[in-house]
Amino acid sequence: MGWFSRRSKAAKVAEKQVNAAQKDPTQIGAARQAVLGEGLSNSERIELLEKLNAAPRYRNQRDNSKNPDTTCNFTSMAMAFEGLGMNVGDTATTQGEEAIYKDFYSRGNSSRIEGDQRERYAKQRGLKSQTIDTPTFTNAAAAKKWFETHITPHMQAGAQATLGIQQGTFRHIIRLQWIEDKGLRVDDPWGHLVGQGEKGIGYAKVNENKRDSVGDQAGSGNDNFLDWASVATALSDRYVQLYQTK
């Protein structure tokens, strides 16, 4: 008997919804309702949320039509918002992150760089949002303990998140996909992010900036992994921005 046959009836229904969402991200909202609904055990819900958090389509900031070098914020937010089951505005000619760019400024916000304004924007979109500053992590164990204490409960309750990371003067925003035992699973809109332990982070590959076809989102930053030693360096004195439906 496998995992699926051992689960409750509600978990089996939710599993089918999650599988559908992985094939078609427009089904994420329905899958979330099933996973966060009644009838699942806590362990069933957590396992299915982890799987569902891989469902949002990957997005490449480097082919954005405006300011591709500095729209990691909107691109990561688009992945996170889609993870909540939101329609972020993808059309035949516009990528969701480009729709967010326009919408952000049309609502009176002035700076995409400022975290408090992005938090405000999430609230303007009808979400609950909060920004939690990270401390100075002394080592990998400290980073793991902090994330498991302060962020894991939110993720296991269905929240989505973006992360502010830093390497020297390089500051960047990525999407947090899930918190694993050995580190963080992330989606980086810039390219293939690689953890370098106590040295921090680096890139094995940077995404192409050529938009081969309308709406093309090809890139190598999907499902990247940062071990706790890398997290301790790259996320010290940075922040986690959380989003949740009301």
Residues 28 and 100 in one domain: no
Residues 190 and 234 in one domain: yes
**In the predicted model, is pLDDT for residue 1 greater than 70?**
no
Q: By percentage, how much of the chain surpasses pLDDT 90?
A: 87
Residue 119 belongs to domain with CATH number: 3.90.70.10
What are 159-190's pLDDT values in tens digits? 999 999 999 999 999 999 999 999 999 999 99
Residues 108 and 225 in one domain: yes
**In the predicted model, is pLDDT for residue 214 greater than 90?**
no
* Number of folded domains that form the chain: 2
User: Do 44 and 35 form a contact (C-beta atoms < 8 A)?
Assistant: no
Residues 45 and 68 in one domain: no
| Lowest mean pLDDT, pick from 8-12, 98-102, 126-130 | 8-12
Range of the structural domain that residue 73 is part of: 61-245
Quick one: average pLDDT of 2-22? Answer: 81
Residues 99 and 169 in one domain: yes
Any idea what the Cα angle at residue 75 is, between residues 86 and 173, rounded to 5°?
A: 120
H or E stretch including 179?
A: strand 170-179
**In the predicted model, is pLDDT for residue 235 greater than 60?**
yes
Residues 201 and 107 in one domain: yes
pTM: 0.94
First-to-last C-alpha distance (Å) of the chain: 38
Residues 106 and 138 in one domain: yes
Residues 9 and 83 in one domain: no
Residues 129 and 31 in one domain: no
